[in-house]
Amino acid sequence: MAADERGVTPQSENFSAWYNDLVVKAQLVDRGPAKGTMVIRPYGYRIWELLQAELDRRIKDTGHDNAYFPLFIPESYLRREAEHVAGFAPELAVVTHAGGKQLEEPLVVRPTSETIIGEMMAKWVSSYRDLPLLLNQWANVVRWELRPRVFLRTTEFLWQEGHTAHADEADARRETRLMLDTYEEVARDIAAIAVVTGEKTPGERFAGAVSTQTIEGMMRDGKALQSGTSHYLGENFARAFDIAYTDVSGERKLCHTTSWGMSTRMIGGVIMTHGDDKGLVLPPRLAPYQVVIVPIGRGEKGEAAVAAARELAGRIKAAGVRVHIDDRLQLSPGFKFNDWEMKGVPIRLELGPRDIEAGTVLMAKRLGAEGKQTLSLETVAQDLPKLLDEFQDYLLARATRFREDNTVGVDGWEHFTEAVGTGWARAFHCGEAKCEDEIKAATAATPRCVPFDGVSESGACVRCGTPSAYGKRVIFGRSY
Ligand SMILES: [Zn+2]
């Protein structure tokens, strides 16, 4: 069969080709004209909007306010925090000319907004009464990518970035963890990605952070996807931007700040956690259409089926379910079935003249190993919310099992290289950056995190044999 007819390259044949085929065939994106840019098409953007709404509600419920800061940042701002500028310099896009003239000071297109928000925080905070200052911004950012991948690494991407200022370390660390827990909840309960939460090793920290916490998901090729990070920035940015306050006793003190972000990368995570050879598999909570009705039949009978589908769709919508009727006349039912499977719609309902006569409807679930089921036309609308919840739970259970099956505790080097070839390894590590680099050079695996729920134990570094540094095993894996 030609590649076009069979849909997408099979996952088992070439995971990366499968992904690249799928994002285009499912009409999520198109490539932008400038290298590394992407056009997010309506179907893909709707997934982002659904995720965004879930996250935004939680950000507000935890006391944060949305604001908007400029896209252009004076280059000098980035230089004020030495580690920050060193970390981001290779990825910066810089505007040197505008309005037909060379600018006096170049402007950086924001790669992240700690610096410009820090400058404003310094203006807005003066007393302990102004704290904590809890801000969030929904925006696009630009990081020049040498090896772009749609959703995973694009030169421009969409995200939210939270930025907060606190009176002391304890409050800032509490905030850092609170937002990581929020990310974990969204990943698990909305995207059905079975993430592991933990602390990044020093070599993997955000540039300028004291501590970086992460949620890591396992993709179906066994690689890790860092899906959200939360940083405790200590006094580093407060010192650089003079974010300070007067405490109760009149003493001037530096604030402790945090930042945290989740991006359109999550859509890549959803694709690679759940998708298969037929296409996308969307968790119902992120599915633009949770249910698609395909009316079947030609001529008068076809028209009757469309009318019955409209009536049914009205009742399904009233039950709070996102439903779509595929009434494209020129296309065969078989084509439509494949099309909605490619687009990952959780539940498909088929409604033909015989079903209408019998008062039934045929249901096919996206991963339906059980085949098609006959349901009552009268009660299906009220049954769908529960069926969708079950599908959502099933996807999370399946992803959790996959992660567990592909994560192994290892002690020897040989066993380690084998484990990170197909999944994740839990291993002791000395914590030395040089040793991490050697592991990466030899296996392409990096420390993903020191998991919060790891058992307390110690042993010899899997690479160099030096005693372990973290009091527990570190998760290693290849990553995106
Ligand atoms: Zn070592």
**Is residue 195 over pLDDT 80?**
yes
Lowest mean pLDDT, pick from 74-88, 227-241, 390-404? 74-88
Q: Cα separation of 213 and 227, whole Å?
A: 11
Tokens representing 269 are: 């995570």
> Where in the sequence of the chain do the CATH 3.30.930.10 domains occur?
15-274
Q: Cα separation of 296 and 82, whole Å?
A: 65
pLDDT of residue 108: 96
Q: Cα separation of 317 and 293, whole Å?
A: 12
Rounded mean pLDDT of 179-196? Answer: 98
pLDDT class of 99 with cuts at 50, 70, 90: very high
Question: Ligand 1: distance of its center to the CA of 438 in Å?
Answer: 9
User: Is the CB of residue 138 less than 8 Å from the CB of residue 56?
Assistant: yes
Rounded mean pLDDT of 152-156? Answer: 95
If you search the block for the tokens 């079935």, which residue do you land on? 337
pLDDT of residue 80: 87
pLDDT of residue 82: 82
pLDDT of residue 6: 58
Question: Ligand 1: distance of its center to the CA of 421 in Å?
Answer: 19
Question: Ligand 1: distance of its center to the CA of 310 in Å?
Answer: 64
- Mean pLDDT for the chain overall: 95
pLDDT of residue 34: 92
Find, among 41, 9, 22, 59, the residue nearest to 288 by Cα: 41
Question: Ligand 1: distance of its center to the CA of 209 in Å?
Answer: 23
Question: Ligand 1: distance of its center to the CA of 449 in Å?
Answer: 15
**Is residue 1 over pLDDT 60?**
no
Rounded mean pLDDT of 164-183? Answer: 98
Question: Ligand 1: distance of its center to the CA of 461 in Å?
Answer: 5
Rounded mean pLDDT of 98-113? Answer: 96
3-class DSSP assignment, residue 333? helix
CB-count burial class (<10 Å; 0-12, 13-18, 19+) for 433: exposed
Find, among 341, 325, 323, the residue nearest to 25 by Cα: 341
Amino acid at site 209: A
Q: Cα separation of 76 and 232, whole Å?
A: 23
Rounded mean pLDDT of 364-375? Answer: 90
User: Is the CB of residue 176 less than 8 Å from the CB of residue 260?
Assistant: yes
CB-count burial class (<10 Å; 0-12, 13-18, 19+) for 479: middle
> What CATH number was assigned to the domain covering residues 289-390?
3.40.50.800
Question: Ligand 1: distance of its center to the CA of 202 in Å?
Answer: 14
Amino acid at site 258: T
If you search the block for the tokens 């040197």, which residue do you land on? 96
Those residues whose beta carbon sits under 5 angstroms from the ion ligand 1 are: 430, 435, 461, 463-464
15-274: CATH, from 3.30.910.20, 3.20.20.120, 3.90.800.10, 3.30.930.10: 3.30.930.10
Backbone angles phi, psi at 162, to 5 degrees: -95, 145
* Alpha-carbon separation of residue 206 from 111, 180, 302, 344 (angstroms): 12, 14, 58, 34
> Where in the sequence of the chain do the CATH 3.40.50.800 domains occur?
289-390
pLDDT class of 169 with cuts at 50, 70, 90: very high
pLDDT of residue 371: 86
User: Is the CB of residue 66 less than 8 Å from the CB of residue 137?
Assistant: yes
> What CATH number was assigned to the domain covering residues 407-477?
3.30.110.30
pLDDT tens readout for residues 317-331: 999 999 999 999 889
**Is residue 286 over pLDDT 80?**
yes
Q: Cα separation of 313 and 317, whole Å?
A: 6
pLDDT tens readout for residues 299-319: 888 899 999 999 999 999 999
Amino acid at site 169: E
pLDDT of residue 369: 73
Element (DSSP H or E) covering residue 348: strand 347-351
Rounded mean pLDDT of 232-254? Answer: 97
Q: Cα separation of 426 and 365, whole Å?
A: 35
Question: Ligand 1: distance of its center to the CA of 146 in Å?
Answer: 30
Rounded mean pLDDT of 414-443? Answer: 96
Rounded mean pLDDT of 294-303? Answer: 92
Q: What is the largest CA-CA distance in the chain?
A: 83
CB-count burial class (<10 Å; 0-12, 13-18, 19+) for 91: middle
Of how many residues is the chain composed? 480
**Is residue 251 over pLDDT 90?**
yes
pLDDT tens readout for residues 19-73: 999 999 999 999 999 989 999 999 999 999 999 999 999 999 999 999 999 999 9
